[in-house]
Amino acid sequence: MASTRPDPLPPNTDIGPMMVAIAYAFIFPALITTAFRIWIRARDHVLGYDDVAISLAACLSIVLSALSIEGVRHGKGRHIWYLDDSQTATIGKLSWINQIVLFCAICLIKISVCLLVLRIKNTKGLRYFLYAVMALLVVTTIIPIIALCIECRPIEGFWHRTIGHCHSPDFRIYSIYLQAAYSVLTDLLCSLLPILIVWNLQLALNKKVGVCVVMGMGLVATAFAAVRAASLSTTTTDTTYAYTYTGSWMIIETNLGIIATNLAPMRGVVNLFRRRVVQYSQNRSHMHTLSKSGGGGNPTHDSVYGRRSERDMLADAEARRRPTSSGGGSDQSEIPLKAILQTRTYDVTDHDVHSIQERA
């Protein structure tokens, strides 16, 4: 139980269901967009390390949501003074694990974006810069994890305050501030850098704008990272209630980051299903026309030419399913996933040839 008991006690309210609703509302779009991303990349044979990183982040997001929901089942979201020691201990343990999961998931999301940028443009200067960014991401992820592990001896003292000895939580809270601050900085970088690179590519203007809007959605996650850091406190004793808001911001920040990172190829998915529906409608229309035109004639003649027309129709449908080089209706990613190659063309005239021969 908490050592400082207010008088009078606050109402016995429960905000846990709010966090459960947030978890379900955000985890499914994150998983769906991740599945579409991996499907399209695998189909086009362009899977890369950025896809591995975002897939791991999605798996950690599932763990984050599951642990949060389990915490609510044990009383998270209620004021600590209405819970017994076993409930607060279980909630504390789940929260301790959840913080580590969050830091790793956020790190993987940012690394995925950096690796995607390097697939688009892999110049020497940009490569070294993004390697430094990713190295600092790992460092700012490890520091709060270490702070969590050394705050209490033994570690179980973090959720069983009567066991062992615990230091002040200040170092842990301030290390989380550092992690959140660098997370905001990298959110800005990971949103703006791809926009600058894509804007200089040879793409149609509407595609450039679409990709820029999608990548700019990562800035929304930046706001929730700042809110998450602001919701932390080194003095609160009502952790089971106050940190429920923090847990909600954690879930939103993580899943919005995953969704924004995955949305680039989503326009291709829409185009793919739209073409399949159009093809199906055209096939049904051709079959209906064929059946109407085949009545009343020679059965043998109609059946032979009917089968031939059907084969031709299916061949035409198969040809329509093949991607074209125009890109107007392509179901591939709007962002090129292969390195940009710069080519130069030199025109050699007869005068230049004669000059070379005279010098020889």
DSSP code for 82: G
- CA 350 to CA 171: how far, in whole Å? 75
Q: How confident is the model at residue 301 (pLDDT cuts 50, 70, 90)?
A: very low
pLDDT at 308: 45
Pick 237 or 106 by higher pLDDT: 106
Contacts of 91-95 spanning 24+ positions with Cβ under 8 A: 91/159, 91/239, 91/240, 92/158, 92/159, 92/160, 92/239, 93/158, 93/159, 94/67, 94/68, 94/70, 95/71, 95/159, 95/239, 95/243, 95/247
pLDDT > 70? residue 286: no
Q: What does the alpha-carbon distance between residue 174 and residue 347 come to, in Å, rounded to a whole number?
A: 62
> What does the block give as tokens for 114?
């950096």
For residue 18, is pLDDT > 60? yes
Asked if 68 contacts 98 with a C-beta cutoff of 8 angstroms, the reply is yes
Can you give the pLDDT at residue 203? 65
Q: Is the dihedral of CA 155, 157, 163, 167 positive or negative?
A: positive
Q: Is 70 exceeded by the pLDDT of residue 197?
A: yes
Quick one: average pLDDT of 265-292? 58
Does the structure show a pLDDT above 90 at 71? Answer: yes
The whole-number average pLDDT for the span 274-280 is 57
Give 230-259 as a DSSP string.
HT--SS-S-HHHHHHHHHHHHHHHHHHHHH
Average pLDDT of the segment spanning 203-208: 67
Cα atoms found within 13 Å of the Cα of residue 20, Cβ hemisphere only: 13
The pLDDT of residue 318 is above 70 = no
Give the pLDDT confidence score for residue 328 in this predicted structure: 43
Task: Determine the pLDDT at residue 279.
Answer: 63
Tokens representing 224 are 């929730």
* Token pair 């949305």 in the structure block, residue: 263
Task: Categorize the per-residue pLDDT at 267 as very low, low, confident or very high, splitting at 50, 70 and 90.
Answer: low
Instruction: Calculate mean pLDDT across residues 66-73.
Output: 96
60 contacts: CB under 8 Å, gap ≥ 6? 101, 104, 105, 108, 254
Q: What is the mean pLDDT of the chain?
A: 77
Residue 69 vs residue 310, higher pLDDT: 69
User: Is residue 72's pLDDT more than 90?
Assistant: yes
More confident residue, 6 or 42: 42
In three-state secondary structure terms, 160 is: coil
- Residues 57-91 as b or e (16 or more Cβ within 10 Å = b): bbebbebbbebbbebbebbbbbbbbbbeeebbbbb
